[in-house]
Amino acid sequence: ISTDGGTTFTTLVASTPNDGSESIIVPNTPGTTVRIMVEAVGNIFFDINNANITIVPPPFGFTFNQTTPATAACPAPATMTIALGTTSNGGFTGDVALSATGNPAGTTVSFSPSTIAVGGGTDVTLNGANTLNAGTYNITVTGTTTGAPTRTALLSFTVQPGTGPAITTQPANQTTCVGSNATFTVAATGTYQWQVNTGAGFANISGATSASFVVSGATAAQSGNSYRCIVTGQCGSTTSSAATLTVNTLPAIVSSPANVAECTGSTVSFAVTASGTALTYQWQVSTDGGATFANITGATAATYSIASAVLSQNGNRFRCVVSGACTPSVTSGAATLTLSAAPTITSNPVASAAICEGASTSFVVAATTPVGTLSYQWQASANGGATWTSISGATNATFAQANVPATQNGYLFRAAVTTSCGTIFSTNVALTVNTFPVISFNTVAELCRSDRPVALTATPAGGTFSGNGVSGSTFNPTAAGLGEKTVTYTASNAGCQSTLSRIIIVEQCAERQIPLDNSASLTLFPNPNTGRFGVRVNTDLYTKFGVRIFNNLGQLIRTQQVAGVFFGQVIPMDLTQLPNGTYHLLFSNDERGETITRTITMAIYK
């Protein structure tokens, strides 16, 4: 302790155990710069508390002096005594009455004397110490007086460990079966605590505090565990030797023999896998479908073999009875021996088939075998039979598939027919998958009823057009009539037919219905001309015209009829035989019930 802030120190307690804490008596040296230092004995390391401690004068009254613990070897003497003194604070005088608490069961505490004057002392005696086990026992002494506070002191009595009890009979190794009990026993005097080591070291077993410990319902996982007992007496404990538990397992079938399918004359074997301790085997056979079984002489291994199977053994069943160190025995499942012969194909599938893409097809094979079971696997080849691939799920005599893609064109198909004695293949089926033509067809979207017929084109070539107004490969809006008209192109490839339709809207086009007497109905050009000119038809109301040509004197010099007139037509005219001059062309039409005319004047200039 330092009362000058850590400059100088005075020893309070010397050579205390390094056990993490220590009780000290603070000296009556009041101050505000007190520090405590703890230093190691024999090296340079030390530590000082970080902040100053303040010591204030003790309150008026008394304090107990620091005591020296009492120590005895086990077994301890009947009594152990510690001297306890007192100190007066502030000049207090008076008598102190003493009492004790916390003494262990079976002991008492006495004082000599039990009342002392302040400044005096007493002997505190622990009676019955010879009954105590090794250990440290702390007793609280309380001092009461008149005119001052009550004080307490903690006194320590230590009984040092001695020799543990002698073990006269060590636990022995035990062997049992799964589910049975095993008992370990130790002979010694004292208290008992059994421990178990499961591989990670010994640990106490809760509640195992008798001279015998019973492992109830032993499990296979407990096999190999070690058990020992710690016997504790008054002065110490003794650990027994370890005993090992061996847990034998009951026989159990891990895997039963499997059914065997083989050809007659072959070597066949049946095997059983079992678990358990000290296993033995006995194979049995049933010739009546499993109703009864009989032992097979000499068949006492985990595997039973028949060197050359004969047809009379077809359908026999075989099983194994497995016994072991623990009862009861167990019996495997029965395996059936199925004998087979090679298959024969009695009817091959068709040699070839042709379909359209997306259609369905099926192929059939027929086969037989004198004994055994037939299995089927259809296969396909995309390279002319160079390699074959099994078709998933195609395991019946009939192979059918829907929505066949065009990518299977040229494929070959065959059936593999199998028994346990081998596989044979059917003849091949050559499949032709024809594709549907891919049509490209574009045309005008709208026409006037008075328009000329339009050509229709589509690919692939060789197809046919159909619909109202369609003739060959043209569409005539006049023949089709007004409205939406569907034009369809149909093309075929080896019977696989495709169609594609387009809509053409046929409209009246009222702007073309110009009466003849309207100046816009006809256009004559060029004007003037050399006698060769054209008359463009700008109306669709008429299909013919009567034309009369007059000179400037009003004389009729030519008459002609124009038939087959249509909108947009340019009617060629040749008047080159006429001399230069002004001429009047009178166009007339009576198709609508009355005659309507239009006169166009032109000049011929050569």
pLDDT band at 14 (very low <50, low <70, confident <90, very high): confident
Considering the domain architecture, whether residues 326 and 281 belong to the same structural domain is answered as yes
Question: Across residues 162-173, what is the average pLDDT?
Answer: 94
Instruction: Provide long-range contacts, Cβ within 8 A and 24+ apart, for 181-185.
Output: 181/214, 181/215, 181/216, 181/217, 181/218, 182/214, 182/215, 182/218, 182/245, 182/247, 183/212, 183/213, 183/214, 183/215, 184/212, 184/213, 184/215, 184/227, 184/229, 184/243, 184/245, 185/211, 185/212, 185/213
- 367-424, pLDDT tens digit by residue? 998 887 899 999 999 999 999 999 999 999 999 999 999 999 999 999 999 987 889 9
Classify residue 167: in a domain, yes or no: no
Considering the domain architecture, whether residues 264 and 193 belong to the same structural domain is answered as no
Greatest distance between any 2 Cα atoms in the chain: 181
Q: Choose one of 248, 267, 293: the last residue of a domain.
A: 248
Phi, psi of 420 (to 5 degrees): -65, -10
Q: Choose one of 434, 459, 492: the last residue of a domain.
A: 434
pLDDT band at 58 (very low <50, low <70, confident <90, very high): confident
Classify residue 55: in a domain, yes or no: no
Considering the domain architecture, whether residues 534 and 553 belong to the same structural domain is answered as yes
Q: 86 with 144: CB under 8 angstroms?
A: no
Burial 121-131 (b: 16+ CB within 10 A, else e): ebebbbbbbbe
- Give the pLDDT confidence score for residue 29 in this predicted structure: 82
**Domain count of the chain?**
6
Residue 43 has pLDDT above 90, yes or no: no
Question: Across residues 91-116, what is the average pLDDT?
Answer: 95
CATH code (residue 575): 2.60.40.3080
Considering the domain architecture, whether residues 244 and 258 belong to the same structural domain is answered as no
Phi, psi of 425 (to 5 degrees): -115, 145
Classify residue 583: in a domain, yes or no: yes
Residue 277 has pLDDT above 90, yes or no: yes
Which run of H or of E encompasses 480? helix 477-480
Of 341 and 540, more confident: 540
Q: 197 with 242: CB under 8 angstroms?
A: yes
Classify residue 168: in a domain, yes or no: no
Residue 451 has pLDDT above 80, yes or no: yes
Considering the domain architecture, whether residues 490 and 554 belong to the same structural domain is answered as no
Considering the domain architecture, whether residues 387 and 475 belong to the same structural domain is answered as no
Classify residue 51: in a domain, yes or no: no
% the chain with pLDDT above 70: 100
Phi, psi of 479 (to 5 degrees): -70, -30
Q: 520 with 600: CB under 8 angstroms?
A: no
Classify residue 169: in a domain, yes or no: no
Considering the domain architecture, whether residues 178 and 236 belong to the same structural domain is answered as yes
The full length of the chain comes to 606
Residue 83 has pLDDT above 80, yes or no: yes
- Determine the structural domain holding residue 327 and report its residue range: 252-340
Considering the domain architecture, whether residues 348 and 335 belong to the same structural domain is answered as no
CATH code (residue 455): 2.60.40
- Give the pLDDT confidence score for residue 204 in this predicted structure: 98
CA 305 – CA 303 distance, rounded (Å) = 7
Mean pLDDT for all residues in the chain: 94
- Give the pLDDT confidence score for residue 264 in this predicted structure: 85
Considering the domain architecture, whether residues 318 and 238 belong to the same structural domain is answered as no
% the chain with pLDDT above 90: 87
- 328-381, pLDDT tens digit by residue? 999 999 999 988 888 999 999 999 999 999 999 999 999 998 887 899 999 999
Classify residue 40: in a domain, yes or no: no
Q: Choose one of 214, 230, 248: the last residue of a domain.
A: 248
- 195-241, pLDDT tens digit by residue? 999 999 999 999 999 999 999 999 999 999 999 999 999 899 999 99
- Give the pLDDT confidence score for residue 15 in this predicted structure: 87
CB-neighbour burial class of residue 153 (10 A; exposed 0-12, middle 13-18, buried 19+): buried
Residue 57 has pLDDT above 90, yes or no: no
Considering the domain architecture, whether residues 239 and 329 belong to the same structural domain is answered as no
Considering the domain architecture, whether residues 520 and 475 belong to the same structural domain is answered as no
Residue 28 has pLDDT above 80, yes or no: no
CA 95 – CA 46 distance, rounded (Å) = 43
Classify residue 288: in a domain, yes or no: yes
CATH code (residue 224): 2.60.40.10
Considering the domain architecture, whether residues 519 and 451 belong to the same structural domain is answered as no
pLDDT band at 592 (very low <50, low <70, confident <90, very high): confident
Question: Across residues 519-538, what is the average pLDDT?
Answer: 96
